[in-house]
């Protein structure tokens, strides 16, 4: 298999959620190598680690993000893809540590104070991480101070705020204002079921996306 074929196959494994050879999913790829084995083979064959990431793993997850936005795949398929991605990424760990491979930047995410929902925020994290970003997940019920502390720890990071409830949209607004007041250069993305672009304009956040892939596209554009 030439390097291009191998990288394309890695991308296909992530897109289809094929983790490793023993995984029975997807049924039509049974007993074939998965993202795990193929990433190891690619590195062994001398393909640079940054290419395994940028031409293998990331394009696979990119397709998943687009398909998720278009309702062609759903939460379970994203979870399987993220698992395949992570199986490939574990082989890249030493290269991240040595600096041979770099992330595109840092994206700090959290569900805003008062809101304890995490599924949407976690999906966002998986898809943005799969696009080559480092994701710092602050969890749920996150106050402004915690976001600000994370921004100080990761200068130039982008911030993503999530909420599910209309009740907590008010907290989202306050958190956007607090972050913008104390760290005015920080770019803030907002999302979640009740959030709209009109709301974004009103509260002064920088970007709204109804789906994770929209966040990836914004980050890739300005990051």
Q: Sign of torsion, CA 176 179 185 191?
A: negative
d(CA 89, CA 36): 8
The correct pick among 167, 197, 202, 222 for binding another protein (CB under 8 A) is 167
d(CA 120, CA 187): 20
Burial class (CB in 10 A: 0-12, 13-18, 19+), 18: buried
In whole angstroms, the minimum distance from the beta carbon of 165 to another protein comes to 7
The correct pick among 42, 80, 163, 205 for binding another protein (CB under 8 A) is 80
In whole angstroms, the minimum distance from the beta carbon of 83 to another protein comes to 7
* Closest listed residue to residue 168, CA positions, set 216, 124, 110: 110
Applying CB under 8 A, does 194 fall inside the site for another protein?
Answer: yes
Applying CB under 8 A, does 214 fall inside the site for another protein?
Answer: no
The β-bridge partners of 160 are 109, 189
Q: Sign of torsion, CA 139 161 123 75?
A: positive
Q: Which stretch binds another protein (CB under 8 A): 1-9, 48-56, 140-148, 155-163?
A: 140-148
How many binding residues for another protein (CB under 8 A)? 34
In whole angstroms, the minimum distance from the beta carbon of 1 to another protein comes to 27
In the complex with another protein, which residue's Cβ is closer, 45 or 75?
75
d(CA 78, CA 48): 26
End-to-end CA distance of the chain: give it in Å, rounded: 34
Applying CB under 8 A, does 156 fall inside the site for another protein?
Answer: no
Dihedral angle computed from the Cα positions of residues 105, 40, 76 and 131, in that order, rounded to the nearest 10 degrees: 20
Applying CB under 8 A, does 74 fall inside the site for another protein?
Answer: yes
In 3-state terms, the chain is what percent helix, strand and coil (to 5)?
Answer: 60, 10, 30
The correct pick among 1, 45, 100, 119 for binding another protein (CB under 8 A) is 119
The pairing of strands 158-162 and 188-191 is parallel
In the complex with another protein, which residue's Cβ is closer, 6 or 35?
35
Applying CB under 8 A, does 76 fall inside the site for another protein?
Answer: yes
In the complex with another protein, which residue's Cβ is closer, 76 or 94?
76
The correct pick among 165, 172, 179, 216 for binding another protein (CB under 8 A) is 165
The correct pick among 24, 46, 99, 184 for binding another protein (CB under 8 A) is 24
Q: Contact residues for another protein (CB under 8 A)?
A: 17, 23-25, 69, 71, 73-77, 79-80, 83, 113-116, 119-120, 122, 140-141, 143, 165-168, 170-171, 193-194, 210-211
């Amino acid at each position: 298999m030439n390097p291009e074929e191998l990288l394309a196959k890695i991308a296909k494994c992530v897109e289809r959620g094929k983790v490793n050879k023993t995984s029975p999913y997807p049924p039509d790829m049974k007993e074939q190598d998965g993202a795990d084995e193929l990433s190891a083979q690619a590195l062994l064959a001398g393909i640079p680690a940054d290419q395994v990431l940028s031409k293998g793993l990331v394009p696979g997850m990119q397709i998943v993000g687009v398909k998720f936005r278009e309702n062609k795949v759903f939460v379970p398929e994203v979870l399987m893809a993220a698992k395949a991605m992570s199986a490939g990424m574990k082989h890249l760990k030493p290269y991240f540590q040595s600096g041979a491979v770099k992330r595109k930047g840092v994206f700090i995410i959290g569900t805003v104070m008062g809101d304890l929902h995490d599924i949407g925020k976690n999906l966002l994290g998986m898809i943005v991480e799969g696009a080559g970003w480092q994701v710092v997940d602050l969890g749920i019920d996150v106050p402004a101070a915690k976001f600000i502390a994370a921004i100080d720890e990761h200068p130039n990071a982008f911030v993503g705020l999530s909420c599910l409830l209309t009740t907590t949209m008010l907290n989202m607004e306050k958190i956007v204002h607090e972050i913008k007041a104390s760290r005015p250069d920080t770019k803030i993305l907002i999302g979640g079921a009740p959030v709209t672009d009109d709301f974004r304009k009103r509260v002064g956040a920088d970007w709204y996306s109804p789906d994770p892939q929209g966040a990836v596209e914004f980050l890739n554009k300005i990051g």
